[in-house]
Amino acid sequence: MNDSVLMLTIMAAIGLGTPIVFATVGEILAERSGILNLGVQGMMLFGAVVGFWATFQTGSLWLGVFLAVVAGAAISVIHAFNSVTLRVSQIVSGLALTIFGTGVAIFIGRAGASPLVGRPSREIFEPIFPQSLADIPLVGPLIFGHDALVYLSWVIVAIASYYLFHTRPGLTVRAVGEDPASAEAAGINVSRVRYIHVMLGGALAGLGGAYFSLALVPSWQDNPIGSAGWIAIALVILASWRPWRALWVAYLFGAAGRVNFTFQTLEINIPSNLLAMLPFLLAIVAMLILASGKRARLLGAPEALGVPYFREER
Amino acid sequence: MPDQDQSSATPAVELRNIDKSFYGVFANADVDFSLAKGEVHALLGENGAGKSTLCSVMAGLYRPDSGEMLFDGKPMVFKSPKDAYAAGVGMVYQHFRLVSNLTVAENLALGNPEVGLRLSQGQLEAEAKELGERYDFPVDPSARIWQLSVGQQQRVEILKLLYRDAKILILDEPTAVLTPQEGEALFRAMRMLADEGRSLIFVSHKLQEVKAVSDRVTVLREGRVVGAANTDDAEPRDLARMMVGKDLVLPTRKPNESVGDEVLVIEDLVVEDDRGLDAVDGLSISVRAGEVVGIAGVSGNGQRELAQGIVGLMKVKSGSVRLNGTDVTKKSVLAKIKSGIAYVPQSRLGMGLAPGLTTEDNLALKQYREPPYSNGPLLSAAAFGRRGAELIEEFDVRGVRPGLPIRLLSGGNLQKALIAREVVQDHSVLIARSPTRGLDVGATADVRDHILAERDRGIAVLLISEDLDELLALSDRLVVIYEGRIVGEMPASEATAERLGLLMSGEREDQSA
């Protein structure tokens, strides 16, 4: 039963969806504070290469994860500085960050006399519970069949959701994203809130990137993450800026990544390239929605998303 | 210094030599100000006199360029409103600082360090309710801000300050958005707060309000303090002179001599707002040539949708707009302009004028497609300059500097430029929304003159305003709207502020003729 097509698809969906969960929740935090960060792809790739490199050097998976998180947060400061302090266009700055992060990741992967490219991983995240537990029908794989980072992603989703909707700092974030002028008048440091949440977004994107390089792919390539960063930005809208919904839609996309294989097994004939294209179609539609402020707000986007805030404007 | 308080009590606030400028223009210069504990202190001055800036400085929103601020005798520097809150200073801004998608209770909790880390919606709402009842300010704590009326939103703003136990409350033009009846309720609450020992700063440019509610008054003009007095000792005429700097008489309206045919006829107009609700809900009205029809109503009762529906900026859901007998309901904005609708919108910068363009460019914005501005596909810079200079001269727009963006002009000059542009084109209807809002007395007089001149040359004027003084000064006929519908109509001779105020608050008249 645990080997049924459905179960295999679900497990693959969780595996492929987990990095997107991290990145999507991160982007939700940033966007809830009013900052649109299109640099997710770049931050993820940077986290992926730093995580892979650190684990390759030291053999410690957790050190890899930790440095990937730090790397993601660090590179996101560029965007925070551009959009909060300099108040430049967030779209331009975010795109630049993606280009920069991608370039840096490829460079790090290829630099030096013995580059990382093509090297197999020294360590990889494995399921943490014994196989005997995972063999329990149905619930076994679903509950006990995952590696540590999958469980971490669940914890992060739960914390992010509780934080946003049931704590005072969470209320602060939502207020800053909706109406920074009012938030500031209520005594909130808008810039600080935005910096912090852009960096949290970067940290989670870095973590998502590391999941690719430390759990999903067996060796370093120029781009181990595909277009997961773009998908994550699109999913923020599908999740209507809510962490729990982000979990489900990310898994849905994980399943889409597996759907070729599933369809083949079930002998359904749809050209695989067509299916592989679907996520990108959705990403494009999502970008269009984000770019047309009014429509995005109807879907629940923070009122001030993407709008630079300047206190003494008059 | 006149009228120095001799009592030994330390003032709640003392300002010394406060300077604040924006882009090199002084908003406050060398301001001294003192607020005693338990008093209501009016800051009186025309718009642009620096009242709001001074308040924002006290509330920590702006930092003064120089000068000293003492709160309860201690010198303070506020880096942000947060510091001001910590010192017990809170402000109700002219444009409310409420997050409209959050609930009343959430807005009260926002940024308040005394609310625990964990939010309990139920507890917050209970506290908000209790606080509202204590000050006779009932509001539904679970309502979202956008669901509330403007008057209710103002209560939330005040409750927000009381929730933090602010000792010094600054109210920036609080009555501007209220009906006269709501204004009186506000004054009662202000007296109650002062009796509790709190100090209130009340900003206004209306003398009778200052007389009604304040203990002391400080008058500002052009960013400077020009006088301070106990309100009871101050003669309204003296205060007015201090405020304006000279004696000024507003033009008195002569009744319109001849009214012509119906020019603008609106029938059963329905216009949706951004939320998809019918903000204008089956409204019919007609304006004749040489007549000013004033539309009175509390802000947010369909004024914006009515104006924008007529001029084509918002889609008309049903009903019709006819101009000189022709149906123009579905015409484009440009077609409507060409068929003779002139429009003075409420926001001068942004909707009325392009802030970043020069004055000359702005003056040409509706006519640049035609000669002399353009010659085929090419624009004539010389024509822009020449025609611009003529209009600037004719309409007395001051402060224009060549090549600099129009946003650097003062409100009154912006409005004069805007009116100049609108009335020089061929038109038979003028739609004006709150044309003298925020203008000083001199500019107000000029703008009113222009509007009355329009009327006298046979233009049909539709004046949509929330300011009863403005409406009563200009209109020949008054129509009151409430929730997008007409609730009363009367000739100017029968209109009083009280009667209009009652209708504006949604009360139907017992027996209308």
CB interface of A with B, residues 185-204, below 8 Å? 185-189
What distance in Å separates the CA atoms of residue B481 and residue B159, rounded to the nearest whole number? 29
Residues B98, A182: C-beta atoms closer than 8 Å: yes
- Structural domain including B262 reads 249-340+458-513
The alpha helices in B204-341, defined as continuous H runs, are 207-213, 236-244, 303-311, 333-338
- Count other Cβ atoms within 10 Å, centred on residue A230: 22
The 10s digit of each residue's pLDDT in A172-224 is: 999 999 999 899 888 889 999 999 999 999 999 999 999 999 998 888 988 89
CA distance A293 to chain B (A): 13
What distance in Å separates the CA atoms of residue A31 and residue A289, rounded to the nearest whole number? 14
pLDDT top residue among A184 and A95:
A95
pLDDT reported for residue B7 = 45
What distance in Å separates the CA atoms of residue B486 and residue B267, rounded to the nearest whole number? 12
Domain presence at residue A149: yes
| Mean pLDDT calculated for residue range B78-91 | 89
The 10s digit of each residue's pLDDT in A120-177 is: 888 888 888 888 887 888 788 888 889 999 999 999 999 999 999 999 999 999 999 9
B319 plus B332 within the same structural domain: yes
B330 plus B209 within the same structural domain: no
Residues B22, A314: C-beta atoms closer than 8 Å: yes
Contacts of residue A181 in chain B, CB cutoff 8 Å? 97
DSSP, residue by residue, B169-199: EEESSGGGGS-HHHHHHHHHHHHHHHHTT-E
Q: How many domains does chain B have?
A: 2
Q: What are phi and psi of B485, to 5 degrees?
A: -125, 155
Last residue of a domain, one of B244, B264, B282: B244
Domain presence at residue A119: no
Domain presence at residue A29: yes
Domain presence at residue B365: no
**Residue contacts between A and B (CB atoms, under 8 Å):** 83
* Chain A, nearest residue to B80 by Cα: A187
pLDDT reported for residue B3 = 43
* Chain B, nearest residue to A168 by Cα: B117
CA distance B69 to chain A (A): 19
Residues B117, A168: C-beta atoms closer than 8 Å: yes
B47 plus B125 within the same structural domain: yes
Contacts of residue A189 in chain B, CB cutoff 8 Å? 80, 82
Tokens representing B429 are: 């209807």
What distance in Å separates the CA atoms of residue B463 and residue B307, rounded to the nearest whole number? 10
What distance in Å separates the CA atoms of residue B63 and residue B78, rounded to the nearest whole number? 7
B172 plus B265 within the same structural domain: no
Contacts of residue A171 in chain B, CB cutoff 8 Å? 102, 106, 109-110, 119
CA distance B110 to chain A (A): 6
- pLDDT of B511 above 60: no
- Structural domain including A246 reads 5-112+141-307
| Mean pLDDT calculated for residue range B261-281 | 89
* Chain B, nearest residue to A304 by Cα: B99
pLDDT reported for residue A283 = 73
B217 plus B126 within the same structural domain: yes
Residue B290: which pLDDT band, with cuts at 50, 70 and 90?
Answer: very high
Contacts of residue B61 in chain A, CB cutoff 8 Å? 184-185, 311
B276 plus B232 within the same structural domain: no
What distance in Å separates the CA atoms of residue A12 and residue A14, rounded to the nearest whole number? 5
The 10s digit of each residue's pLDDT in B119-168 is: 888 888 998 889 888 888 888 899 999 888 888 899 899 999 998 889 99
B288 plus B217 within the same structural domain: no
| Mean pLDDT calculated for residue range B33-53 | 88
What distance in Å separates the CA atoms of residue B186 and residue B92, rounded to the nearest whole number? 13
pLDDT reported for residue B378 = 87
Residues B102, A189: C-beta atoms closer than 8 Å: no
Buried b / exposed e over B154-173, threshold 16 CB at 10 Å, is bbbbbbbbbbbebbbbbbbb
B40 plus B170 within the same structural domain: yes
Domain presence at residue B294: yes
- pLDDT of B358 above 50: yes
Domain presence at residue B471: yes
- pLDDT of B16 above 60: yes
Residues A172, B100: C-beta atoms closer than 8 Å: no
| Mean pLDDT calculated for residue range B257-281 | 88
pLDDT reported for residue B250 = 52
Strands, sheet with B25-35, edge to edge from the N-terminal-most edge strand = B25-35, B13-22, B66-71, B74-75
Question: ipTM score here?
Answer: 0.80
What distance in Å separates the CA atoms of residue B216 and residue B512, rounded to the nearest whole number? 42
Buried b / exposed e over B257-276, threshold 16 CB at 10 Å, is eebeeebbbbbebbbbbeee
Contacts of residue B22 in chain A, CB cutoff 8 Å? 312, 314
B130 plus B47 within the same structural domain: yes
Residues A185, B81: C-beta atoms closer than 8 Å: yes
Residue A291: which pLDDT band, with cuts at 50, 70 and 90?
Answer: low
The partner residues of B294 in beta bridges, in order of sequence, read: B463, B478
Angle of helix A5-32 versus helix A243-265 axis, rounded to 10: 150
- pLDDT of A95 above 90: yes
| Mean pLDDT calculated for residue range B437-459 | 86
pLDDT reported for residue A314 = 40
Give whole-number Cα distances, B192 to B55, B88, B118, in Å. 22, 18, 33
The partner residues of B488 in beta bridges, in order of sequence, read: B480
B236 plus B265 within the same structural domain: no
Poorest-pLDDT segment among A61-70, A79-88, B52-61, B235-244:
B235-244
pLDDT reported for residue A17 = 93
Last residue of a domain, one of B244, B276, B292: B244
Q: What are phi and psi of B226, to 5 degrees?
A: -110, 0
Identify the DSSP state of B279: E
pLDDT top residue among B49 and B129:
B129
pLDDT reported for residue A294 = 64
Poorest-pLDDT segment among A285-289, B38-42, B137-141, B325-329:
A285-289
pLDDT reported for residue B4 = 44
Q: What's the CA angle centered on B80, arms B78 and B85, to 5 degrees?
A: 75
B27 plus B133 within the same structural domain: yes
CA distance A153 to chain B (A): 22
What distance in Å separates the CA atoms of residue B166 and residue A133, rounded to the nearest whole number? 60
CA distance A169 to chain B (A): 7
The 10s digit of each residue's pLDDT in A5-63 is: 788 888 888 999 999 999 999 999 999 999 999 999 999 999 999 999 999 999 899 99
What distance in Å separates the CA atoms of residue B461 and residue B264, rounded to the nearest whole number? 9
Q: How many domains does chain A have?
A: 1
pLDDT reported for residue B251 = 54
A182 touches chain B (CB under 8 A): yes
pLDDT top residue among A80 and B235:
A80
At B258, which CATH number? 3.40.50.300
Last residue of a domain, one of B220, B244, B268: B244
CA distance A241 to chain B (A): 14
pTM check: above 0.80 = no
| Mean pLDDT calculated for residue range A69-93 | 95
Residue A1: which pLDDT band, with cuts at 50, 70 and 90?
Answer: low
A179 touches chain B (CB under 8 A): yes
pLDDT reported for residue B252 = 62
Residue B249: which pLDDT band, with cuts at 50, 70 and 90?
Answer: low
- Count other Cβ atoms within 10 Å, centred on residue B3: 15
Using DSSP, state whether B349 is helix, strand or coil.
strand
B175 plus B264 within the same structural domain: no
CA distance B438 to chain A (A): 14
pLDDT reported for residue A162 = 96
Domain presence at residue A134: no
pLDDT reported for residue B157 = 92
The 10s digit of each residue's pLDDT in B172-208 is: 988 877 877 888 889 999 999 999 999 999 998 778 8
| A183 closest CB neighbour out of B111, B118, B119 | B111
At A9, which CATH number? 1.10.3470
Contacts of residue B117 in chain A, CB cutoff 8 Å? 167-169
A169 touches chain B (CB under 8 A): yes
pLDDT reported for residue B248 = 53
Domain presence at residue B345: no
